[in-house]
């Protein structure tokens, strides 16, 4: 769904600093050189800068720190996910917008991305801190043919996808998954996942996979109550990270693992999940809505349910909880 202006930007992002002439662009885009120039003016107003190289054409010399659709598209290698991007400078919550989109009919794989959220949501209506321009605040809408009880498995599929995407950046950071929906770096939370389902009588109409990742915050960007428990990829890797590249990598892994899951079931995902898990084998305290359970996390079941062995060797299954390790 890229606009002409976005397509033009995408062309420059892929040009690797090679100048492109106005004539060539006019031909490629089937419009006048004046029209091309007007689009470049608009991009300049958004913070992109272009330089004119005599007799050769334009080059893109600097980019604002944004995750707009053209930026994501320039990294995208998927077949379905992220082909439609709804991009907001600021919104209430990408989940809320995704709900609206589903109500109005939306293509499988559509994503909602925002630079900031005023009402970012965690589980059970908790607040999710979404500092402007520093993180990935995104909801992915997919319509797999599944039954409602399978929906929670997608939180684990998403977690495995995010971990692989972070690893693919090649920085010296090793993310660990904390059951069910957190990703930690050095014991601090860098990512939270919120999977919501829209179900009808005959099955799941859509899954809204909300992913919040602290990417480029510095410690001082976090509010006091999060300073001890949260971290960002940039803090741990000690360098700034290109958010659009990470978004594209997440979409690629999520598409791949969704396909694997739909074809082969949860087993291959479980294997990957356990490999990256920082929960299995640890003494944990799980707080559910009804009780507090202490014991050793011994694994997850085929359904992504956590199994905990108590001191009396009894094994308890936990469907949803907050975990302390």
Which residue's Cβ has the minimum distance to ligand BT5? 192
Q: How far is the CB of 123 from ligand BT5 (least distance, A)?
A: 3
Q: What does 192-232 look like in DSSP terms, one character per residue?
A: EEEEEEEEETTEEEEEEEEEEEE-S--GGGS-GGGTTTB--
Verify binding: residue 195, ligand BT5, rule CB under 6 A.
no
Residues 65-94 that bind ligand BT5 (CB under 6 A): 93-94
234 contact partners, CB below 8 Å, separation of at least 6: 215, 216, 217, 218, 240, 241
Per-residue contact flags (x/-) with ligand BT5 for residues 107 to 126, judged by CB under 6 A = ----------x--xxxx--x
Q: What are the Cα distances from residue 226, in Å, to 123, 232, 280?
A: 16, 11, 25
> What is the three-class DSSP state of 182?
strand
**Scanning the structure block, which residue is given the tokens 């084998």?**
281
Site membership for ligand BT5, residue 129 (CB under 6 A): yes
CA 213 to chain centre: 7
The DSSP secondary-structure symbol of 127 reads B
Nearer of residues 201 and 289 to ligand BT5, judged by Cβ: 289
Among 88, 54, 220, CA closest to 96:
88
Min dist. Cβ of residue 307 to ligand BT5 (A):
20
Q: Which residue, 69 or 120, has its beta carbon nearer to ligand BT5? A: 120
Minimum Å distance from CB 214 to ligand BT5?
A: 5
Q: Whole-number minimum distance, CB 36 to ligand BT5, in Å?
A: 35
Total residues at the site for ligand BT5 (CB under 6 A)? Answer: 26
Nearer to ligand BT5, 10 or 117 (CB): 117
Q: How many helices, marked H, and strands, marked E, lie in the chain?
A: 9, 14
Burial 222-261 (b: 16+ CB within 10 A, else e): beeebeeebbbbbbbbeeebbbbbbbbbbbbbbbbbbebb
Site for ligand BT5 in 160-189 (CB under 6 A): 181-182, 189
The nearest distance, CB 230 to ligand BT5, in angstroms, is 3
- Give yes or no for residue 192 binding ligand BT5 (CB under 6 A): yes
Helices (H), the chain: 4-13, 22-29, 33-45, 69-73, 94-103, 153-168, 233-237, 243-264, 267-276
Residues 214-243 that bind ligand BT5 (CB under 6 A): 214, 226, 230
* Window 196-215: residues binding ligand BT5 (CB under 6 A): 210-212, 214
Least distance from ligand BT5 to the Cβ atom of residue 99, Å: 11
For ligand BT5, the binding residues (CB under 6 A) are 93-95, 117, 120-123, 126, 128-129, 137-139, 181-182, 189, 192-194, 210-212, 214, 226, 230
């Amino acid at each position: 769904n890229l606009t002409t202006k976005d397509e033009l930007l995408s062309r420059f992002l892929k040009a690797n600093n090679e100048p492109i002439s106005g004539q060539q662009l006019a031909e490629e885009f089937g419009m006048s050189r004046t029209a091309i120039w007007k689009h470049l003016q608009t991009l300049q107003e958004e913070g992109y800068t272009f330089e004119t190289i005599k007799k050769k054409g334009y080059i893109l010399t600097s980019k604002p720190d944004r995750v707009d659709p053209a930026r994501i598209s320039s990294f995208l290698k998927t077949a379905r996910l992220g082909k439609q991007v709804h991009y907001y400078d600021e919104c209430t919550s990408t989940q809320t917008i995704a709900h609206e989109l589903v109500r109005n009919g939306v293509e499988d794989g559509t994503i909602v991305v925002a630079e900031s959220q005023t009402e970012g949501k965690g589980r059970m209506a908790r607040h999710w801190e979404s500092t402007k321009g520093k993180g990935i605040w995104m909801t992915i809408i997919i319509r797999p043919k599944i039954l409602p009880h399978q929906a929670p498995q997608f939180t684990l599929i998403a977690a495995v996808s995010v971990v692989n995407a972070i690893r693919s950046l090649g920085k010296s950071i090793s993310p660990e998954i904390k059951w069910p929906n957190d990703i930690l770096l050095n014991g601090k939370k860098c990512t939270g996942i919120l999977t919501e389902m829209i179900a009808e009588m005959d099955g799941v109409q859509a899954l809204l996979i909300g992913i919040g990742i602290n990417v480029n915050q510095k410690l001082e960007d976090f509010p006091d109550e999060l300073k001890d428990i949260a971290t960002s990829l940039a803090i741990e890797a000690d360098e700034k990270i290109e958010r659009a590249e990470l978004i594209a990598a997440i979409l690629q892994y999520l598409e791949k693992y969704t396909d694997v899951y739909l074809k082969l079931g949860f087993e291959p995902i479980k294997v990957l999940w356990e490999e990256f898990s920082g929960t299995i084998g640890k003494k944990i305290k799980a707080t559910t809505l009804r009780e507090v359970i202490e014991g050793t996390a011994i694994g997850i079941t085929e359904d992504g349910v956590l199994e905990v062995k108590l001191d009396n060797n009894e094994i308890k299954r936990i469907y949803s909880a907050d975990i302390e390790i």
